[in-house]
C-alpha cells in the first residue's frame, strides 16, 4: 500500500521532474561543459581553453558594465517595485467592490509582451511624441530619453517597475488578506489612527510578503533583457547593458557558445551571491524586530 | 503463376526504384515574397523532374536567422541549402566547415556564364579561392531625397557634395525650423548591422569603394573615413541630423533625406501611396566629400545575400540541389520572376542593361532603375569572421564618441582601428 502510494507520488511528480531534467539539468550540464571551450556549436573542432573564457569575462568591460548596471537597476527597481506594488495592494484591499477585477487588471502588464510594450514606449518617447512636443513648448527642450545614459536607465527601470508591480501586488494582497481584522479593531479601540495601524500592524505582518517580493525583485534585476534590447540595444555606451544582453550578444551574434555559457555561469553566481546576501541582511533585520 | 507474380513484383520494385525520390530541403529567407518565389520555382522544377522532391520553408528567425541556421546545424537538422547568407556569416560557416563550395561542381562555369555574373561573383570569392555563396540579390544602398520639399527650397536636383548638403540644410532650417535633414536614430546605437546603413554607405562613397578590411589587415582609406565622421558630426552640430527616435520622418516630410534599400517600396506603396518616384522623391548615390571628382562613379554599400549548400547533406542531395539551383539561376526569366515577386534586383552583371529587366523596371518599377545602375559600384559586407565585433566596435569606439564630441573624427577613427587590432590577428 505504502509502495503504491510512493509510486503514485512519483507518477504525479514525473511531468515536472521530466521537464526539469530536459529543460534545466541537461542544459545546465551542457552549459557547464561548454565553459572550457572556444566553440561556436557547429565547428568540428572545439578548442580547449581551460579557464581562458573566465579570464576574458572577468576583465571584459562589457561584462563589467553588465555587472555594475545590474546594481544600478536594482537601486531603482527594488524600492520602486516594492513601493508601487504595496500601494496597489493597499488600494485594491480597500476598494469597496470589484477587488478581483482590479487585481487582475493590475496583473495584466506582467502578461503583456515586452517587445510590444517596448515599441509603445519608444513611440511615447519619440522626439515628435505629444509628450515631447508639450515639454518643448513649456521648457524649450525635451530630454533625450533613450540617448542619455541617466534617462535611459530611468526609462527602462520605470518600465520594469510598471510591468511587475501588479504581479507583486498580488503577493502583498494575499498577505494583507491574511491579517486578522480583529487586530485593527483592537488597535482602533486603543486609539491608534490609520497611520499607526499601518506602521504597527500592517507592515510587520506583511514581512513574509515583503521578503518574498524583495527576493523576487532582486533576482529579476539579473534577468533584464527585452526592455534594453528593444529600446537602447544596451547603450548609450553600455549604460543599459545587462547580463542577458551580453549572453545573447556572445552566443547568438558572435556565435561564441563557450564564452556565452561562461558569462551565463558568472551571471548565475552573481545572482546567487546577491540574493543570498540580501536574504541574510533582511532576515537579520527581521529577526532583530521579531518579524517572522 | 507464382513465378510470374514474383517477377511482376520485382519489376514493380525496380521501376519504383528507378524513379526513387531524392528529397531535398531549401530554406528561404523569412520574407513571404522570397518564400513565394522559391515555392514557385520548386513546383515548376518538380513538374519536370519527377525524381526530386523539394521542400521549401522559411528559415527560423528566432532570435536571428543566423542563429536559426547555427541551431539547425548543431542539431543535425540543417536543410540541404538556404538563401539569406551574406559573406560575413558565410565566412563563419566556412571556418566551421558547415558549407561546401559550389565551384566544385563541373557545370560551375556554365552557370556563371548563363547567369551573367562574371563580374559580380568576384566579390564573393573566399580567401581559399572557392565560391561558397551564389549571390541571389544585391541591394545597392542609395539616398532618397524629398524632391517636393527640395523644390520648395529652390532645388531642382539633390546636392552631391557635403558642402552642398550642408547648404541645403541651412535653407531647410531657415524655412522649416522643425524639419531635419536626416533621421538616423541608430547612429548612436552600437548594433553591428546598423553600420551597413549609415557609415558604410558614406564611407564607400567617399573612398571609391576601398575595402575597410582585406584578409586580416585594415586597408581603409583613412582620409575618406575621417571626412565621413566629420560630416556626421557637422550635421549633428547644426541640428540637421536627428539621432533620437522619431515616429515618422522621411515619409511624412519631417526629414528630407534617407538611406534607402529597394525593399521599402512595397511598404511605401501600401502605406504611403503619395510617395511617387520622380514626383515626391528621387534617388541618388550617397553624397561625397567636396574633393571627390564629379565625373567619377560613386560607390556604395550593398546589402547582398546568397545561397549556400550545407555540408550535412548527402552527396546525392547536394547534387540534386545543385541541379535545382542551376536550373533556377540559368534562366533570365526566373530572375525576372524574382524581381516581380520580391521587388529586389537579382545579382547579375546585366540587370541594368538587359532589356528583359530594364523594360520591366522602366514600365513597372522605375525606382529600381537607379539601383540596377549602381550594382556595379556596390560593395558587399565585410567578409571577416569577426564582422560582428568589428562593426560593433565601430559604433562604440568611434561613431558615438565622435558624435558626442568626446573624440575628434581623427581620434575616433584611430580608436576604432586600435580597438579591432586584436580581432584581426
Cα B174 from Cα B365, distance rounded (Å): 35
Query: B96, A44: Cβ pair inside 8 Å?
Result: yes
The verdict on residue A9 lying in a domain is no
pLDDT tens-place string over residues A197-222: 999 999 999 999 999 999 999 999 99
The verdict on residue A230 lying in a domain is yes
**For residue A116, how many other CB atoms are within 10 A of its CB?**
11
The answer to whether B102 touches B108, Cβ cutoff 8 Å, is yes
Q: Which residues of A touch B405 (CB under 8 A)?
A: none
CATH number for position A264? 1.10.3720.10
Same domain, B153 and B79: no
Residue A237 to chain B, least CA–CA distance (Å): 7
Same domain, B274 and B308: no
| Domain range for B253 | 142-301+382-424
Among positive and negative, which fits the CA dihedral A136, A140, A146, A147? positive
The answer to whether B380 touches B86, Cβ cutoff 8 Å, is yes
β B282-284/B99-100 pair status: unpaired
Q: What is the pLDDT of residue A11?
A: 93
Cα A153 from Cα A232, distance rounded (Å): 10
The more confident residue out of B265 and B175 is B175
Nearest to B100 by CA among B78, B122, B72: B78
Q: Which residues of B touch A258 (CB under 8 A)?
A: none
Q: Which residues of B touch A238 (CB under 8 A)?
A: 396
Nearest to A236 by CA among B408, B192, B412, B188: B188
Q: Among B1-5, B44-48, B53-57, B135-139, which is the least confidently predicted range?
A: B1-5
Same domain, B213 and B270: yes
- CB nearest to B70's CB, from A41, A44, A126: A41
HEC profile of B296-318: CCCCEEEEEEEEEEECCCCHHHH
Average pLDDT over residues B44-51: 95
The verdict on residue B3 lying in a domain is no
- CB nearest to B63's CB, from A147, A236, A248: A248
Cα B134 from Cα A222, distance rounded (Å): 43
| Domain range for A254 | 40-288
**For residue B367, how many other CB atoms are within 10 A of its CB?**
22
The count of structural domains within chain B is 2
**Greatest CA span in chain A, whole angstroms?**
80
Nearest to B345 by CA among B386, B388, B376: B376
Judged by CB atoms within 8 Å, which residues 50-89 of A form the interface with B?
A: none
pLDDT tens-place string over residues A41-95: 888 889 999 999 999 999 999 999 999 999 999 999 999 999 999 999 999 998 9
Among positive and negative, which fits the CA dihedral B403, B405, B410, B411? negative
pLDDT tens-place string over residues B87-115: 989 998 998 999 999 999 999 999 999 99
Nearest to B306 by CA among B94, B142, B89: B89
Average pLDDT over residues B200-222: 95
> CA nearest A42 in B: which residue?
B74
The verdict on residue A58 lying in a domain is yes
Does residue B162 have a pLDDT over 50? Answer: yes
Does residue B342 have a pLDDT over 80? Answer: yes
- B143 bridge partner residues: B259, B284
Same domain, B54 and B136: yes
Confidence category of residue B63, pLDDT binned at 50, 70, 90 = confident
CATH number for position B320? 3.40.190.10
Does residue B1 have a pLDDT over 90? Answer: no
Q: What is the pLDDT of residue A5?
A: 84
Query: A147, B190: Cβ pair inside 8 Å?
Result: no
H-only helix segments in chain A: 2-20, 26-34, 52-58, 61-93, 99-111, 114-124, 130-139, 149-177, 181-189, 194-197, 203-205, 207-221, 226-231, 243-248, 257-288
B179, B188, B239, B389, best to mutate vs chain A, most A CBs in 10 Å: B188
Same domain, B287 and B420: yes
Q: Which residues of A touch B248 (CB under 8 A)?
A: 128
Same domain, B265 and B337: no
CA dihedral B89, B90, B91, B94 (to 10 degrees): 130
Among A137-146, B56-65, B246-255, B402-411, which range has the highest average pLDDT? B402-411
Does residue B272 have a pLDDT over 70? Answer: yes
Residue A243 to chain B, least CA–CA distance (Å): 16
Confidence category of residue B383, pLDDT binned at 50, 70, 90 = confident
The answer to whether A203 touches A161, Cβ cutoff 8 Å, is no
Average pLDDT over residues A101-112: 88
Cα B378 from Cα B345, distance rounded (Å): 13
Cell numbers standing for residue A290: 521579531
The verdict on residue B33 lying in a domain is yes
CA A55 to chain centre: 28
Q: Which residues of B touch A40 (CB under 8 A)?
A: 70, 92, 96
What percent of the residues of chain B are helix, what percent strand, and what percent coil, each to the nearest 5? Answer: 50, 15, 35
Does residue A163 have a pLDDT over 90? Answer: yes
The answer to whether B140 touches B378, Cβ cutoff 8 Å, is yes
> CA nearest B71 in A: which residue?
A41
Query: A236, B188: Cβ pair inside 8 Å?
Result: yes
- B303 bridge partner residues: B139
Q: Average per-residue pLDDT in chain A?
A: 93
A27 interfacial to chain B (CB closer than 8 Å) = no
Residues sharing a CB contact under 8 Å with residue B226, sequence separation 6 or more, in sequence order:
B409, B410, B413
> CA nearest B390 in A: which residue?
A254
Residue with cell 526566373: B334
Same domain, B164 and B270: yes
For A82, A243, B175, the CA distances from A56, given in Å and listed in that order, are 36, 15, 54
**For residue B115, how many other CB atoms are within 10 A of its CB?**
25
Cα A205 from Cα A37, distance rounded (Å): 50
Same domain, B193 and B296: yes
Residue A147 to chain B, least CA–CA distance (Å): 7
Query: A41, B247: Cβ pair inside 8 Å?
Result: no
Cα A178 from Cα A175, distance rounded (Å): 5
A258 interfacial to chain B (CB closer than 8 Å) = no
Residues sharing a CB contact under 8 Å with residue B389, sequence separation 6 or more, in sequence order:
A254, B192, B420, B423
Residue A5 to chain B, least CA–CA distance (Å): 40
Same domain, B317 and B237: no
pLDDT tens-place string over residues A29-43: 989 999 999 998 888
Quote the pTM value: 0.86
Query: B188, A254: Cβ pair inside 8 Å?
Result: no
Same domain, B119 and B152: no
Q: Which residues of B touch A234 (CB under 8 A)?
A: 190
B244, B251, B400, B420, best to mutate vs chain A, most A CBs in 10 Å: B244
Q: What is the pLDDT of residue B136?
A: 95
Same domain, B360 and B260: no
- CB nearest to A144's CB, from B191, B244, B388: B244
Residue B242 to chain A, least CA–CA distance (Å): 9
Cα A76 from Cα A135, distance rounded (Å): 24
Instruction: Give the number of A-B residue pairs with CB atoms closer than 8 Å.
Output: 73
The verdict on residue B6 lying in a domain is no
Query: B242, A127: Cβ pair inside 8 Å?
Result: yes
Cα B160 from Cα B282, distance rounded (Å): 13
Q: What is the pLDDT of residue B9?
A: 53
pLDDT tens-place string over residues A253-262: 888 999 999 9
Q: Average per-residue pLDDT in chain B?
A: 92
The answer to whether B78 touches B312, Cβ cutoff 8 Å, is yes
The verdict on residue A261 lying in a domain is yes
Q: Which residues of B touch A37 (CB under 8 A)?
A: none
Residue A141 to chain B, least CA–CA distance (Å): 13
Does residue A25 have a pLDDT over 60? Answer: yes
Query: B400, A43: Cβ pair inside 8 Å?
Result: no
Query: B73, A42: Cβ pair inside 8 Å?
Result: yes
Q: Which residues of A touch B189 (CB under 8 A)?
A: 232-233, 235
Residue A228 to chain B, least CA–CA distance (Å): 11
Average pLDDT over residues A161-176: 95
Does residue A247 have a pLDDT over 50? Answer: yes
The verdict on residue A162 lying in a domain is yes
The verdict on residue A11 lying in a domain is no
Residues sharing a CB contact under 8 Å with residue A9, sequence separation 6 or more, in sequence order:
none
Same domain, B154 and B267: yes
The verdict on residue B116 lying in a domain is yes
Query: B63, A125: Cβ pair inside 8 Å?
Result: no
Cα B207 from Cα B228, distance rounded (Å): 10
The verdict on residue A31 lying in a domain is no
Cell numbers standing for residue B409: 573624427
Q: What is the pLDDT of residue B2?
A: 59
Cell numbers standing for residue A207: 514581512
Q: Which residues of B touch A128 (CB under 8 A)?
A: 246-248, 254
> CA nearest A241 in B: which residue?
B190
Q: Which residues of A touch B389 (CB under 8 A)?
A: 254
The count of structural domains within chain A is 1
Amino acid at each position: 500500500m505504502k509502495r503504491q502510494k510512493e509510486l503514485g507520488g512519483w507518477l504525479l511528480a514525473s511531468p515536472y521532474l521530466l521537464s526539469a531534467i530536459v529543460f534545466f539539468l541537461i542544459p545546465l550540464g551542457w552549459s557547464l561543459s561548454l565553459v572550457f571551450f572556444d566553440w561556436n556549436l557547429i565547428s568540428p573542432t572545439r578548442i580547449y581553453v581551460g579557464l581562458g573564457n573566465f579570464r576574458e569575462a572577468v576583465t571584459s568591460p562589457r561584462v563589467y558594465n553588465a555587472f555594475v548596471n545590474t546594481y544600478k537597476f536594482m537601486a531603482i527597481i527594488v524600492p520602486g517595485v516594492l513601493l508601487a506594488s504595496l500601494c496597489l495592494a493597499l488600494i485594491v484591499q480597500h476598494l469597496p467592490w470589484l477587488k478581483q477585477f482590479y487585481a487582475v487588471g493590475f496583473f495584466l502588464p506582467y502578461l503583456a509582451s515586452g517587445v510590444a510594450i517596448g515599441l509603445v514606449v519608444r513611440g511615447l518617447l519619440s522626439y515628435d511624441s505629444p509628450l515631447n512636443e508639450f515639454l518643448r513648448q513649456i521648457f524649450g527642450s525635451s530630454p533625450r530619453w533613450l540617448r542619455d545614459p541617466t534617462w535611459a536607465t530611468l526609462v527602462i527601470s520605470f518600465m520594469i517597475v510598471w510591468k511587475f508591480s501588479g504581479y507583486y501586488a498580488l503577493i502583498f494582497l494575499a498577505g494583507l488578506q491574511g491579517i486578522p481584522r480583529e487586530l485593527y479593531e483592537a488597535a482602533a479601540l486603543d486609539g491608534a489612527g490609520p497611520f499607526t495601524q499601518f506602521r504597527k500592524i500592517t507592515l510587520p505582518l506583511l514581512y513574509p510578503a515583503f521578503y518574498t517580493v524583495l527576493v523576487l525583485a532582486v533576482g529579476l534585476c539579473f534577468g533584464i533583457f527585452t526592455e534594453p534590447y528593444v529600446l537602447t540595444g544596451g547603450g548609450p555606451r553600455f549604460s543599459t547593458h545587462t547580463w542577458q544582453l551580453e549572453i545573447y550578444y556572445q552566443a547568438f551574434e558572435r556565435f561564441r557558445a563557450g564564452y556565452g555559457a561562461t558569462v551565463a555561469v558568472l551571471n548565475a553566481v552573481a545572482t546567487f551571491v546577491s540574493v543570498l546576501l540580501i536574504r541574510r541582511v533582511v532576515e537579520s533585520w527581521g529577526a532583530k524586530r521579531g518579524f517572522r | 503463376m507464382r513465378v510470374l507474380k514474383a517477377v511482376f513484383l520485382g519489376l514493380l520494385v525496380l521501376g519504383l526504384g528507378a524513379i526513387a525520390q531524392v528529397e531535398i530541403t531549401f530554406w528561404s529567407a523569412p520574407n513571404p515574397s522570397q518564400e513565394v518565389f522559391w515555392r514557385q520555382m520548386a513546383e515548376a522544377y518538380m513538374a519536370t523532374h519527377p525524381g526530386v522532391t523539394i521542400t521549401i520553408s522559411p528559415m527560423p528567425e528566432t532570435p536571428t536567422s543566423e542563429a536559426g541556421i547555427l541551431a539547425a546545424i548543431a542539431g543535425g537538422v540543417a536543410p540541404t541549402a538556404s538563401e539569406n547568407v551574406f559573406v560575413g556569416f558565410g565566412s563563419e560557416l566556412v571556418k566551421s566547415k558547415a558549407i561546401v563550395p559550389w565551384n566544385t561542381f563541373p557545370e560551375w562555369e556554365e552557370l556563371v556564364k548563363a547567369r551573367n555574373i562574371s563580374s559580380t561573383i568576384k566579390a564573393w570569392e573566399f580567401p581559399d579561392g572557392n565560391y561558397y555563396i551564389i549571390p541571389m540579390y544585391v541591394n545597392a544602398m542609395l539616398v532618397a531625397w524629398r524632391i517636393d520639399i527640395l523644390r520648395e527650397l529652390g532645388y531642382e536636383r539633390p546636392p552631391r557634395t557635403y558642402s552642398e548638403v550642408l547648404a541645403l540644410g541651412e535653407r531647410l532650417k531657415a524655412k522649416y525650423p522643425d524639419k531635419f535633414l536626416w533621421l538616423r536614430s541608430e547612429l548612436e546605437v552600437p548594433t553591428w548591422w546598423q553600420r551597413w546603413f549609415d557609415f558604410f554607405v558614406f564611407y564607400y562613397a567617399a573612398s571609391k569603394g576601398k575595402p575597410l578590411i582585406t584578409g586580416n589587415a585594415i586597408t581603409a582609406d583613412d582620409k575618406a573615413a575621417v571626412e565621413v565622421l566629420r560630416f556626421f558630426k557637422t550635421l549633428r552640430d547644426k541640428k540637421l541630423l536627428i539621432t533620437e527616435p522619431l515616429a515618422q520622418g522621411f515619409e511624412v516630410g519631417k526629414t528630407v533625406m534617407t538611406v534607402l534599400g529597394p525593399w521599402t517600396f512595397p511598404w511605401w506603396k501600401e502605406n504611403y501611396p503619395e510617395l511617387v518616384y520622380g514626383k515626391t522623391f528621387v534617388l541618388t548615390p550617397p553624397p561625397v566629400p567636396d574633393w571627390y571628382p564629379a565625373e567619377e562613379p560613386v560607390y556604395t554599400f550593398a546589402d547582398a545575400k546568397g545561397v549556400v549548400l550545407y555540408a550535412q547533406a548527402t552527396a546525392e542531395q547536394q547534387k540534386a540541389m545543385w541541379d535545382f539551383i542551376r536550373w533556377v539561376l540559368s534562366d533570365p526569366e526566373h530572375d525576372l520572376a524574382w524581381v516581380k515577386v520580391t521587388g529586389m534586383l537579382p545579382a547579375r552583371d546585366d540587370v541594368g542593361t538587359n532589356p528583359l529587366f530594364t523594360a520591366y523596371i522602366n514600365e513597372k518599377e522605375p525606382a529600381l532603375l537607379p539601383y540596377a545602375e549602381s550594382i556595379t559600384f556596390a560593395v558587399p559586407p565585410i567578409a571577416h569572421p569577426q564582422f560582428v565585433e568589428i562593426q560593433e566596435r565601430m559604433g562604440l569606439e568611434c561613431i558615438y564618441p565622435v558624435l558626442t564630441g568626446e573624440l575628434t573624427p581623427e581620434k575616433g577613427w584611430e580608436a576604432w582601428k586600435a580597438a579591432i587590432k586584436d580581432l584581426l590577428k
